Amino acid sequence: MSEHPAIPFNDLSRGLRRDRDLLLRAAAEVIDSGYAVHGAHHRAFESEIAEYVGVDHAVGVANGTDALELAIKAVRPAGRSIVVTAGNAGGYTSTAVKRAGLTPRYADVDATTLCLTADTVRDVLDDEVGVVVVTHLYGHIGDIPELRSLCDERSIALVEDCAQAIGADSRDGRAGTFGDAATISFYPTKNLGAVGDGGAVVTRSSEVADRVRQLRQYGWATKYDAAVSGGTNSRLDEMQAAFLRLRLPLVNGFNARRREIIARYRAAAAEIAPEVLTVLPAAGGHGAHLAICRSSQRDAVRVHLRGAGVTTDVHFPLPDWEQAAFSAHAPTTPKAHTEAACDEVFSLPLFPELTDDEVDRVCAALRSIA
Ligand SMILES: Cc1ncc(COP(=O)(O)O)c(C=O)c1O
């Protein structure tokens, strides 16, 4: 056993301590403003997050799952009730699809990136499919232009789930700029985390933004006049908007630190046989939300790391269709890469406030596996 306290998988208290005075000042400002929801901070944050992503519109909502539900409702072509998605991304899209009264259909993921691609999606498309939701899992942006073209050819809408990919860049552009709409979660552990829940839908389209604005507020066209069905109450509150405004300018630095930590883990694991442990790369503009490893001996490796004082987790252990809530939608053909990913992936500690000493200790623990 390690003589040090275990290295936490995440420790939100460090960031909260760092930002404490700023957060308290922002909270006081919100209280003094008299606006608890949809005030000046909320309006400003919607513009700032849209500009950061590189689109024209952002609509604040209560969390990332609501963002998915409302985005799907806003972009879905009428009469098409199937939403294609991946089964290895935590079930959030499946939850949103079911809440929207639609049906999930699962495509396999790419063997290396663990994300949907045009090649993995093509075979499951038919005339009933209205939306494809691509999750930029762990912060990785796949080959989106090809997926976008495939959807365009068939008049299928594309939604990007950027919950794990805020600020992620690829050679083709930033996460959130490719889809008919994209969704963000500000859950506290996310790369841009609130001090509570929060989410947003971002889009280039003013029509889609207007529809989401209507849906987040009971479907109202004007006050007390619900013009569209499927509306709900989903607001990003003023306090969270004020907090998120303070943290948005820090995201690029946080993402760079996350990538640097993953690079150090990869270097430390370089001598280990790949089937025993591979740390997935997070180079370039990768969103680096999680430090993901693959191992054919996951349980044993996690026990070893635990003994060396390193806390790990699994994102995500079960394909959606192996969870009772979604098992009615289980695919009829095997999705081998999704199944393998759920059997093999696990995550190392990763948050910007990890100290260099802690990173060194994780690296030493990794080296001790070889
Ligand atoms: C990939 C992904 N999509 C959606 C969500 C849902 O976000 P929220 O928890 O804010 O509803 C999360 C995280 O929680 C996520 O990791």
Task: Give the atom of ligand 1 at the shortest distance from the alpha carbon of 289.
Answer: 16
* Phi, psi dihedrals of residue 46, rounded to the nearest 5°: -60, -45
Ligand 1 contact, 194 CB (< 6 A): no
Beta bridge partners of 132: 84, 158
Residue 5 lies in a domain: no
Average pLDDT, integer, range 165-174: 97
* 131 beta partners: 83, 157
Minimum-distance ligand 1 atom for the alpha carbon of 315: 16
Give the pLDDT score at 320: 98
**What local confidence, expressed as pLDDT, does residue 173 receive?**
97
Considering the domain boundaries, does residue 320 fall inside one? Answer: yes
161 in Cβ contact with 115 (< 8 Å): no
In what side-by-side order are the strands of the sheet with 57-61? Answer: 57-61, 199-203, 181-185, 157-161, 129-135, 82-86, 103-107
Q: Looking at the structure, tell me whether residues 220 and 317 fall in a common domain.
A: no
Q: Are strands 129-135 and 157-161 parallel, antiparallel or unpaired?
A: parallel
Same domain, 211 and 260: no
Does any ligand 1 atom lie closer than 6 A to the CB of residue 92? Answer: yes
| Cα–ligand 1 centroid distance for 78 (angstroms) | 26
Q: Which atom of ligand 1 is nearest to the CA of 198?
A: 10
Band the pLDDT of 2: cuts 50, 70, 90: low
pLDDT surpassing 60 at residue 354? yes
In this structure, are 222 and 309 located in the same domain? no
**Does 259 lie in the same domain as 344?**
yes
Q: Is the pLDDT of residue 143 over 90?
A: no
Quick one: 144 and 279 in the same domain? no
The ligand 1 atom at the shortest distance from the C-alpha of residue 89 is 1
Average pLDDT for 217-235: 96
Could you tell me if 310 and 232 lie in one domain? Answer: no
pLDDT of residue 1: 55
Say whether both 109 and 188 belong to one domain. Answer: yes
Residue 20 in domain: yes
Residue 201 pLDDT grade (very low, low, confident, very high; cuts 50, 70, 90): very high
Residue 8 inside a domain? The answer is no
pLDDT at 342 over 70: yes
User: Is residue 3 included in any domain, yes or no?
Assistant: no
Does any ligand 1 atom lie closer than 6 A to the CB of residue 169?
no
Helix orientation angle between 251-268 and 356-367, rounded to the nearest 10 degrees: 30
Give, in order, the Cα–Cα distances in Å from 296 to each of 76, 81, 293, 331: 39, 37, 10, 24
**Cβ of 64 below 6 Å from ligand 1:** yes
pLDDT at res. 370: 79
Choose one of 185, 191, 237 to mutate for the ligand 1 pocket test, by most ligand atoms within 8 angstroms of C-beta.
185
In a domain, 346, yes or no: yes
277-318 residue pLDDT tens: 999 999 999 999 999 999 999 999 999 999 999 999 999 999
Q: Report yes or no: 359 and 264 within 8 Å, Cβ to Cβ.
A: yes
* CATH number of the CATH domain containing 198: 3.40.640.10
The pLDDT assigned to 4 comes to 82
CATH code where residue 339 lies: 3.90.1150.10
**241 and 353 part of one domain:** no
Cβ(348)–Cβ(309) below 8 Å: no
Q: Does 243 share its domain with 267?
A: no
Q: Strands, DSSP E only, in the chain? A: 57-61, 82-86, 103-107, 129-135, 157-161, 169-170, 173-174, 181-185, 199-203, 220-222, 225-226, 278-279, 291-294, 345-348
* Residue 6 domain-assigned (yes or no): no
Asked whether 185 lines ligand 1 (CB < 6 A), one says: yes
Q: Phi and psi at residue 124, in whole multiples of 5°?
A: -100, 5
Residue 164 CA, ligand 1 centroid: distance in Å: 8
d(CA 81, CA 341): 28
**Average pLDDT for 238-255:** 98
Single residue among 249, 266, 295 that ends a domain in this structure: 249
Q: Is 199 in the pocket of ligand 1 (CB under 6 A)?
A: yes
Same domain, 227 and 342: no
Residue 211 shares a structural domain with residue 259: no
Choose the final residue of a domain: 192, 223, 249.
249
Q: Is there a single domain that holds both residue 106 and residue 191?
A: yes
Q: Ligand 1 centre and the CA of 86: distance in Å?
A: 14
Nearest CA to ligand 1 atom 8: 64
Number of domains in the chain: 2
Query: Which residues span the domain enclosing 67?
Result: 13-249
226, part of any domain: yes
pLDDT above 70: percentage of residues in the chain: 99
Q: Is 164 in the pocket of ligand 1 (CB under 6 A)?
A: yes
26-83 tens-digit pLDDT: 999 999 999 999 999 999 999 999 999 999 999 999 999 999 999 999 999 999 999 9
Of 182, 216, 249, the domain-final residue: 249
Q: Say how many C-beta atoms besides its own lie within 10 A of residue 190's C-beta.
A: 20
Q: What is the mean pLDDT of the chain?
A: 97
For 319-348, what is the mean pLDDT?
A: 98
